[in-house]
Structure formats: C-alpha cells, structure tokens
DNA sequence: AACACTACAGCGGACCCCAC
DNA sequence: GTGGGGTCCGCTGTAGTGTT
C-alpha cells in the first residue's frame, strides 16, 4: 500500500479540521441516535447532522473497533443482488454521550486521558501548584506525571487561561514553595481540554480556535 | 529543581485492493 | 457495484535526556 503523495492522507491538525466534534464523536452520536443501522444509514446520518465531510472509511474503521470492543453487534447481513454484502448493526453497549476511545483491537485507549484529567482537576481545585494538579489528575487508570502537569500549566498560563496567585519562592530550600495558579472563570470554556499542539500552539476545541501561538507572544497576558 | 528540547509509541483518518 | 480489510501517513500525547 503506497499512499499517493499528493493526496495527503492522514490526520489533520485539530485547528485545520475546524470542528469541535471528532469523527468518532459524530459517529458515536449517530449510533446512539439510530440504535440499529447499517453503515450507509450511519454515513448519511453523520453527514446530515454532525460532521459534514466525514469520510466513509472513517466510519468503517470506527465500526470495526466498536464491534471488536463489543459496543455494537452484527444482527443481520444482507446481500445486494446476491453479490455485495452489508452488515446491520445494533448498539450493544451504550457507555454514554462520550465516544469510546478504542485501539484497533477494540480495547480501551488512554491516549489523551491525562490532559482531560488535568483540565478537570484545574476546575476542581481552585488554587493549585503543579504537584497538586498532577496528584489530583491521577487515578487508577491514568497516571499524570508532575512534569506533564507543569508543562500543561506553562502553556495555559501563556495562553492567558491561568492566573498566577502566588509566585514561587526558590531562594530558601527549607521554606521554598511552588508557584500557585488558578483557572480564570472566563477561561472555563467547556468540557474539552485545550490542546498543546506539536508546533507548541494552544488550541481550544471548545472555542474551535487557536488561543495562543509562539509567534504571537504578546497575546499572553502574564498576570 | 526547573526548563527546554527531542524522540518515540500509538491513534485517527484516508487510500487502496480484493472478495463477494 | 458495494463493503470489508490491510496499510500508510501525520498527528497528539508521553517519555526521556540534556542544560541552566
């Protein structure tokens, strides 16, 4: 299999996608609405309702994962003119509004869970330093390293999402303390965590916009 | 200890081929 | 002609290492 260079296959950066629903989110919403469906039903529903331009192959691949994971079940197959075959699925396990994140073999994926926990912990804690944030964001399923929490704080602070409520005191090791931060209420933009992209810019999927980039340092209000 | 940078693993989406 | 399966590529999130 060789991808044609000009076709630029592969995942696009979230800010290019320009939607607050991932393909999987849209597909899962369609499954929960239809309950019983074949692939064509689902593609039509998704394109009409949630996510214009979702690729048929994306639906196909996600259905495979859901099927392997036991979230949907094949209840029927039908033949077209005795040639092409189509599966009919039924929702077998409804885990709620959030689309299950699955690996190719159908087992749960923890990718991105760390950021979700950090974002939730910020809203929960009020004032926090990076150690407290990492501890609160960690649970049995996901371990958030302090350095990850620190990096996330750094970027959100630059993006103007966090207020520094207490500077760090590193002069004396005995009574030294870590800087404390607080999420600004007006920056609690929604349930989805702001993402630190590979090019180090901060993208808020709730607002569907880039809120800070290294080229626009002045947009960061260091308070 | 804190910060900066780089590399890697694995996921999501798209392309292509093949079976029916 | 249609749909399933395999594969590839770019991305994100995470881990590791070096520097200050």
User: Which of A1-10, A55-64, A137-146 is least confident?
Assistant: A1-10
Residues in contact with strand B, defined as Cβ under 7 Å from any of its atoms: A 1-4, 7, 9-12, 22-24, 53-55, 57-58, 60-62, 65, 83-85, 101-104, 109, 111, 147, 150-151, 154, 168, 170, 178
Give the pLDDT confidence score for residue A17 in this predicted structure: 47
Per-residue pLDDT of A130-171, as tens digits, reads 777 877 777 766 667 777 777 778 778 777 788 777 766 544
E strands, A84-145, are 84-91, 127-128
Domains of chain A with bracketed CATH: 23-91 (1.10.10.10), 113-189 (1.10.10.10)
Residue nearest C16 (alpha carbon to C1'): A147
Residue A5 has pLDDT above 70, yes or no: no
Model confidence at A196, in pLDDT bands (50, 70, 90)? confident
Question: Distance of CA A38 to CAs A60, A66, A68, A79, A188, Å?
Answer: 11, 14, 16, 12, 38
Protein side of the strand C interface (CB < 7 A)? A 1-3, 8-14, 38-40, 57, 60-61, 63-64, 80, 83-87, 104, 110-115, 142-143, 145, 147-148, 151, 193, 195-199, 203
The protein residue nearest B12 (Cα–C1') is A11
Report the nucleotide nearest the CA of residue A81, measured to C1'. C1
Q: Residue A179 in 3-state DSSP?
A: coil
DSSP letters, A96-113, are -SSPP-B-TTS-B--TTH
Q: What is the mean pLDDT of chain A?
A: 68
């Amino acid at each position: 299999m060789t991808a044609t260079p000009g076709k630029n296959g592969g995942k696009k950066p979230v800010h290019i996608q320009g939607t607050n629903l991932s393909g999987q989110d849209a597909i899962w919403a369609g499954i929960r609405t239809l309950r019983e469906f074949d692939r064509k039903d689902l593609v039509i529903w998704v394109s009409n309702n949630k996510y214009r331009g979702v690729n048929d192959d994306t639906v196909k691949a996600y259905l495979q994962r859901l099927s392997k994971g036991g979230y949907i079940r094949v209840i029927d197959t039908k033949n077209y003119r005795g040639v092409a075959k189509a599966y009919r699925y039924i929702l077998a396990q409804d885990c709620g509004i959030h689309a299950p994140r699955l690996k190719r073999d159908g087992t749960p994926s923890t990718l991105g869970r760390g950021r979700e926990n950090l974002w939730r912990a910020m809203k929960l804690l009020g004032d926090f330093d990076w150690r407290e944030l990492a501890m609160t964001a960690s649970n049995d399923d996901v371990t958030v390293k302090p350095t990850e929490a620190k990096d996330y704080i750094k970027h959100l602070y630059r993006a103007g999402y966090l207020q520094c409520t207490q500077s760090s005191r590193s002069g004396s090791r005995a009574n030294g303390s870590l800087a404390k931060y607080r999420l600004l209420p007006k920056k609690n933009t929604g349930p989805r965590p702001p993402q630190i992209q590979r090019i180090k810019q901060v993208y808020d999927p709730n607002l569907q916009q880039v809120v800070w980039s290294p080229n626009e340092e002045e947009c960061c209000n260091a308070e």
